[in-house]
Chains A and B, each alone.
Chain A
Amino acid sequence: PLSLPFAVGQCGNQVGCRFWDLALREHAAVNKKGIYDEALSSFFRNVDTRSGGDDPDIYKGRICSLKARALLIDMEEGVVNEILQGPLRDVFDSKQLITDVSGSGNNWAVGHKLYGYLYRENIVEKLRKTAEHCDCLQCFFIIHSMGGGTGSGLGTFVLNLLEDEFPEVYRFVTSVYPSGEDDVITSPYNSVLAMKELNEHADCVLPIENESLFDIVNKIQHMINSGKLGSTVKQNSLVTSSAGRAKVVQEKPFDAMNNIVANLLLNLTSSARFEGSLNMDLNEININLVPFPPLHYLVSSLTPLYTLADVNVPSRRLDQMFSDAFSRDHQLIQADPKHSLYLACALLVRGNVQISDLRRNIERLKPSLHFVSWNQEGWKTGLCSVPPVGHSHSLLALANNTCVKPTFIELKDRFMKLYKKKAHLHHYLHIDRMEQSCFSEAISSLSDLIEEYSELDATKGGPRTDPSRLKIAV
């Protein structure tokens, strides 16, 4: 089953770039014979570039030239140009790019209403062409940030478009939320305006907070430097590293953080690409983790963050991986799932981990977690045999948990601070098709969502009365 990622905006494309780099490395580590296989086909086409021009697809046999199934969209050229000049330049062709020059000025209205309108047909056409090469399209991924203008505005415009053009294909969105200290003043506006679109048009959202990524990167750095670990940490087994890339290239400040998000996406799709004893497809994530349509925000955590140099992994370390997945400092947003209410939880394990390891840990951790009364055993599990590069095993946890609420409340508060003073509103309102009601509807949508989570929280720890069963006449 195929996934089609869309990287929109600066952040989206920077993450996307890391993603394709890591994906290629992952497949190279597994695919020793250079044969184009099912696993590769989920993210890459195999193209015959010798014929020049049309580049027909080769479905079997040796790898000729791999092209990412993707669309890269940015309203300024800097990031995309860098990708096209870098080591990934052959992985994309011009038919997959949609760029402009002036950027969106950190303005959601410019991204959504202005560029959306301008580029709609272009995007639809390129989308259709890309989809034509996919014989079984299962889901779309949008990778973007919420705080800016392009990723946030144009990204959510694309989301709407995808729903119109391909209503049956799942829409997963990986959204990077701005931190409180974000240097873009209008990021709360952009984020809340984008949230409304996510509420209404996304099937599943994986919110990520820069603060959390930053904390994780620092934590790893600290652990390495302090020498506390005794043995050395393997360089290419850091969830933040570029997995053995030649050190010649200077790593940019956000690279480590972006690698985490890229690894999240790789792990999320691993079971759909590689074999295992209990496969987990992306469409299964939706049905298991979204009990009610509005509640589709999933908190994610990736463990381990690094692997030690020694190869033997006693089961204690394996169990530690599971414990870490539920700890506050491994979550990719500022949240503590242990103290909030779980609606559902998914665990996708990679590597040499068997069903008994999974069950032992679920039994062990269950008592300390609060699950909603109608889903006391709300666990979805997957076992994929192929571990990520450099690790012997890894775990991705996805939680539908009310701990997302504080993130949304804070966002609402930051929004209201600006909105009450009508600060910067004119920058938005003078864009065609943009009205005051966009703001009021957006904040209303966010408030409703927060209310839904609050209602669920209220049921936590309350008395549990199971509904009476149907009575049958004997």
Chain B
Amino acid sequence: MSIITVQLGQCGNQIGREVFNAICSDVHGTHGLCSKKENESYHDACKERFFSEEESEVPVARAVLIDMEPKVISQTLSIAARSGFWKYDDRSHFCQKQGSGNNWANGYSVHGPRHKEVIMNLVQKEAEKCDRLGGFFTVMSMAGGTGSGLGAFVTQCLRDAFPTSFILNHVIWPYGTGEVIVQNYNSVLTLSHLYKSSDALLVHENDVVHKICAQLMSIKQISFRDVNQVIAHQLGSVFQPTYTAESGSHYSRNPLGDLMETLVPHPEFKMLGLRNIPQMPENSLAYSTFSWPGLMKHLRQMLIANAKMEEGIDWQVRPPCLGSSVPSSHSTNKPLHFNTSIANLVVLRGKDTHSVDLGSFQDPSLYTSWINPQDAFNAWKTPRAFNKYEKSAALVSNSQFLLKPLDNVVGKAWNMFASKAYIHQYTKFGIEEEDFLDSFTALEQVISSYSIL
């Protein structure tokens, strides 16, 4: 089954390009560390998932590129083509001239309806190229106007036009100290709207990825390209082909469906976080060896201590003692800073993945009481190594990972809203104070639900 990537706005397009790059360079790399047959299976599965076979020398990414100004898309198309390994379909993009002005209302209420038909036609064309459509992966930032506002509108349209397809929104959380002054408004409006139409939101926080670049990748002058490459690596480590428990001897055909099934048991809980291990500069890889027990120990502690990366983990945090089963509300026996999960997915790639002991992730004390621990945890594996890492693991978690960031964004937005600052910029385009209040209410509900896990 194929995934169609919808790249929205500057951020969405810049990241989308890095994702296809990472996937391609992984497939063409010689570090698969597995049999030729395995490698070929992997290659085929990846091709079917992300690329279409057309009358062109290089595979064509299954993607629709959307932006309200032309510079980024033009750059994205040409950089992809220059790679020689893959490209975008030259007709699969839509752009305008004047941008969305960082205004969610402009993206959602003006550009959305105005360009709905053209955009959905492009999506339809891509869908028709797929033998079987596995779903949509939209890439967008919450901070600006296009990715956020138009992105929310397009997600709604996708839901209406493809009611049975899976939709995963990949959302970029902006830096806390501001890229855009009204980013908190844009974020609140985006999240509340996406929650209605999307199946799940997979989040990357710029601040976190930035730290990874600084501390783990040792990059001195970090550019957005560096940040985007780390994000692309993390996404690739989840969405490149794997075997699931049910898929047997074939690479799984339905990654988005599998993801939703394992991670989103209840529609109130859609916020997914991503962690991976190990993460290091390429030239250090040759000098490092890892053991699976070590990797799993770290990954598990990253989960329960809500660590953003493999350095600086708080090893003091422990799961609560079992035996005192408390009703779901006000679980006072949960220690502070402990990250309670609803569901977790671990993806293992490379050498000896079949022998990895994942029992520690199935510990019921990691999970909220209303989930059956058997259902709460899943693992996907492949012996085929990813992107030069002999052994690598990724964790996609539906847990309290994003509770604090969400609470922060809502708090700052509320603070600004109370003074009515910038509201006139939104009412100008048809988003009224009531719309803001609705969004705030929806998100406070999500915050509350995650808090009492």
Q: Are A375 and B181 in contact (CB under 8 A)?
A: yes
Q: Which residues of A contact B180 (CB under 8 A)?
A: 284, 288, 380
Give CA–CA (A469, B452) in the complex, Å: 17
A344 and B222 form a contact (CB under 8 A): no
Q: Mark A118-151, 1 if CB is under 8 A from B, else 0.
A: 0000000000000000011010000000000000
In this assembly, does B29 line the interface, its C-beta being within 8 Å of a C-beta of chain A?
no
Interchain CB contact under 8 A, A467 and B418? yes
Interface stretch (choices A7-15, A50-58, A352-360): A352-360
Contact between chains at A354 and B221 (CB < 8 Å)? yes
Q: Which residue of B lies closest to A38 (CB)?
A: B70
Note all chain A residues with C-beta closer than 8 A to B419.
373-374
> With the chains together, A430 CA to B24 CA distance in Å?
77
B182 is an interface residue with CB less than 8 A from chain A: yes
User: A114 contacts the other chain (Cβ, under 8 Å)?
Assistant: no
Given contacts A374-B421, A469-B414, contact A474 B448 (CB under 8 A): yes
Q: Does B114 contact A (CB under 8 A)?
A: no
Give the docked Cα–Cα distance between A38 and B72 (Å): 12
Given known A284-B101, A472-B444, contact A291–B421 (CB-CB < 8 A): yes
- The answer to whether the Cβ of A377 comes within 8 Å of any Cβ in the partner chain is yes
**A470 pairs with B177, CB closer than 8 A:** no
Contacts of A136 on B, CB cut-off 8 Å?
96-98
Asked if A363 CB lies within 8 Å of chain B CBs, one says: yes
The digit string for B320-363, where 1 denotes a CB below 8 A from any CB of A, is 00000000010000000000000000000000000000000000
- Complex interface: stretch among B120-128, B223-231, B311-319, B375-383: B223-231
Separation in Å of the A152 CB from the closest CB of chain B?
Answer: 28
Question: Known interface pairs A356-B210, A359-B210, A377-B176. Does A281 touch B99 (Cβ–Cβ under 8 Å)?
Answer: yes
Q: How far is the CB of B184 from chain A (nearest CB, A)?
A: 9
Assess whether A467 is in contact with B102, with CB atoms less than 8 Å apart.
Answer: no
Q: Does B94 contact A (CB under 8 A)?
A: no
User: Do A283 and B177 contact each other (CB < 8 Å), given the known contacts A38-B70, A467-B418?
Assistant: no
- Given A287-B425, A291-B422, A374-B415, verify A379-B10 contact (CB < 8 Å): no
- Interface check A1, CB cutoff 8 A: yes
Q: Are A354 and B224 in contact (CB under 8 A)?
A: yes
- CA distance in complex: A344, B448 (Å): 31
Once the chains are docked, how many angstroms separate the CA of A315 from the CA of B222?
13
Range of interface residues on chain A? 35 or more
Taking the closest CB of chain A, its distance from the CB of B96, in whole angstroms, is 8
> Quick one: CB contact mask for B440-451 with A, threshold 8 Å, 1 for yes?
110011011000
Q: Which residues of A contact B103 (CB under 8 A)?
A: 283, 287
Contact with B101, one of A286, A315, A377 (Cβ below 8 angstroms): A286
Interfacial chain B residues near A287, Cβ < 8 Å: 101-103, 182, 422, 425
Q: Which stretch in A92-100, A233-241, A272-280, A401-409 binds the other chain?
A: A272-280
In the complex, are the beta carbons of B421 and A279 less than 8 A apart?
no
Does B178 lie within 8 Å of A378, measured CB to CB? yes
Using CB atoms, name the residue of chain B closest to A362. Answer: B177
Q: Contact flags (1/0) for B56-87 with A, using CB distance below 8 Å?
A: 00000000000001111011000000000000
Q: How far is the CB of A393 from chain B (nearest CB, A)?
A: 12
Contact of A278 (CB < 8 Å), options: B10, B96, B98: B10
**Does any Cβ of A come within 8 Å of B410's Cβ?**
yes
Partner of A284, one of B99, B225, B441: B99
Q: A275-B75, A359-B175, A379-B178 are known contacts. Are A281 and B101 too (CB-CB below 8 A)? A: yes
A136 vs B99: C-alpha distance in the bound complex, in angstroms? 10
Across the interface, name the chain B residue whose C-beta is closest to A169.
B98
Query: Is A60's CB within 8 Å of the partner chain B?
Result: no
> Closest CB of chain A to B222's CB: distance in Å?
4
Q: Does B113 contact A (CB under 8 A)?
A: no
Taking the nearest CB of chain A, how far is it from the CB of B191, in angstroms? Answer: 15
A292 to B416, CA, bound (A): 12
Known interface pairs A281-B69, A380-B178; A469-B411 also in contact (CB < 8 Å): yes
Interface residues, chain B, with chain A CB atoms under 8 Å away: 10, 14, 69-72, 74-75, 96-99, 101-103, 145, 175-182, 210, 213-214, 219-225, 227, 329, 410-412, 414-416, 418-422, 424-425, 440-441, 444-445, 447-448, 452
9 sampled A-B residue pairs with Cβ under 8 A = A275-B75, A283-B98, A344-B181, A356-B213, A366-B177, A373-B419, A374-B421, A380-B179, A470-B444
Known: A356-B213, A470-B414. 16 other contacts (CB 8 A): A136-B97, A136-B98, A278-B224, A279-B10, A284-B180, A287-B102, A291-B422, A292-B424, A315-B221, A344-B181, A355-B227, A373-B419, A374-B421, A377-B176, A381-B179, A466-B411
